[in-house]
Structure 1
Amino acid sequence: MQRCLMLDVDGVVVTGRPEDGKSWATDIERDLGIAPEKLHDVFFAPHWSGIVTGGKNLTDVLAACLPVLAPALTVQEFTDYWFEKDSRLDEGVLAECDELREHGMRIFLATNQEHMRAAYLMDALALRDHVDGMIYSAQLKARKPQRAFFDAAARHSGSRPEDLILVDDTETNIIAARDAGWQAMLWSKGARLMSLLEIR
């Protein structure tokens, strides 16, 4: 059976904001008037787990949270800022994806995402041009490192667990993938897919 590469997005394919690779929220207080700690307390801490596993709608949650965080800001303005500031692509990784696919390897993005950003990544950032598809947490109703994510991802890919290879920058996800019967390799900045996969 042909091996199938499952590639994490944030930290591997997308590496922060375009200008310098820092977190998308680095200057959010200066730019939007939202203190990062307040964003965490009001939005991320109570809601993100539900959003990223498909149980809550991002737009609905932001519509409820923004009057507390930044009353003059619309949901569209906030998501535009967020997605555009978290969109630096590792062109080297994408070039290697293209080469691997030319040699017959199937590649899926396997990532913790909600629906709107998943669509942004595939369409606005054109990641669909470099992979065979995206498998993401809100779609599966489970997130890495939950075992349900890996089992569902295997089903969606049509591959056996032993033919799947996860490349991810988070150690807990690597351990969970191996526990699910996958091969898994920890990504570090500056690495090369070909080297990790031992392809010359």
Structure 2
Amino acid sequence: MKAITFDWGGVFTQNTFDGRSTQRIADRYNLDLEKVRAVYFAHVHQLELGKWNLETFFENLMKEVGFTAPLDEVIELYLGSVLENPPMYEFLPTIPENFKVGLLSNNYPVLSDRLKADPRWSRFDAMVYSNEIGAKKPSPESFKALVEATGVSAENSIFVDDVEENLVAARALGFSTILYHYSEHDRFLKELEAWMNA
């Protein structure tokens, strides 16, 4: 058995979710983008590790950036910031059944639940979210959780991510890897096919 495993943001989305969500918040409330991003990225690990819920995170962000808005509105703006990568969604159900399919994502409360409920994700055999396991990429613990979830060794798995740092960590544990960019989807398909047929 072999496993094909993926990141979410930057693979199943165009660009990063964080970059798009902070841009939309700055635009909606006429805020300085760099200030929004500075506060956001200073604390987003609290979401990724499941230590804060969305309400706590955005209450803190509004306080530190210096603006007020309805909390529910800010959260829905954030959750609605996904810009999907259609070619990857088209490819997912075509993966042969003799391959396990896994996901390892540095993700957030509520958003991870929405992804799991998406019927298009039924092809996944295992989904591992940092906010649920308390460990995030590129930590070895996160990749070990992925191996445990798929039941396939790292040596028999390939990991697809848009961040080289995460791929370096995966290779150190024995994974094969592919660096993904949505503008080079055809290259990804060729590299994955070569691995699948090796």
Who is 1:36 aligned against?
Answer: 33
Q: Name segments (4+ residues, structure 1) moved above 4 Å.
A: none
Cα distance in structure 2, aligned partners of 1:184 and 1:3: 13
Q: Quick one: structure 1 residues 121 and 70, their matched pair in 2 at CA, closer, same or farther if it must change by over 3 Å?
A: farther
Match of 1:80 among 76, 79, 99: 76
Letter in 1 for 2:21: W
- Per the alignment, residue 94 of structure 2 pairs with 99
Q: Please name the residue that 2:132 is paired with.
A: 139
- 2:148 pairs, out of 155, 174, 181, with 155
1:190 to 150, 175, 184: 184
Deviations along 1:52-102, one digit per CA (max 9) or x if unpaired, are 1122333222223324446441332112111212x222221122110104x
Is the Cα contact below 8 Å between 2:8 and 2:104 reproduced in 1? yes
Per-residue deviation at 1:186? 1.2
1:51 correspondence with 2:47: yes
- Output the amino acid matched with 1:11: G
Give 1 or 2: higher helix fraction.
2
What runs of 5+ residues in structure 1 fail to find an aligned partner? none
Count of paired positions: 192
Residue in 1 aligned with 2:103?
109
Counterpart of 2:89, as a letter, is: L
Matched, 1:6 2:5: yes
Deviations 1:26-77 (A, max 9, x none): 34333123322222333431x2122211223332222233244464413321
Is residue 26 from structure 1 mapped to residue 23 from structure 2 by the alignment?
yes
Q: 1:130–1:79: structure 2 CA closer, same or farther, 3 Å change rule? A: farther
SS at match of 2:13: coil
Structural mapping, 1:55-70, within 5 Å: 55-69=51-65
- What is the one-letter code of the residue matched to 2:30? G
- By how many angstroms is 1:134 displaced? 1.9
Equivalents in 1 of 2:52, 2:25: separation in Å?
Answer: 24
Instruction: Give 1:118's aligned residue.
Output: 112
Q: TM-score, normalised by structure 2?
A: 0.83
Q: Unpaired segments of 5 or more residues in structure 2?
A: none
Cα deviations by residue, 1:120-169 (Å, 9 ceiling, x for unpaired): 2333x544234234211111211111111111221122221212210111
* Whole-Å separation in 2 of the counterparts to 1:32 and 1:107: 40
- SS in structure 1 of the partner of residue 21 of structure 2: coil
Whole-angstrom CA distance in 1 between matches of 2:92 and 2:86: 10
The TM-score with structure 1 as length reference comes to: 0.82
Query: Superposition RMSD on alpha carbons, in Å?
Result: 2.5
1:127/1:185 Cα in 2 relative to 1: closer, same or farther (>3 Å)? same
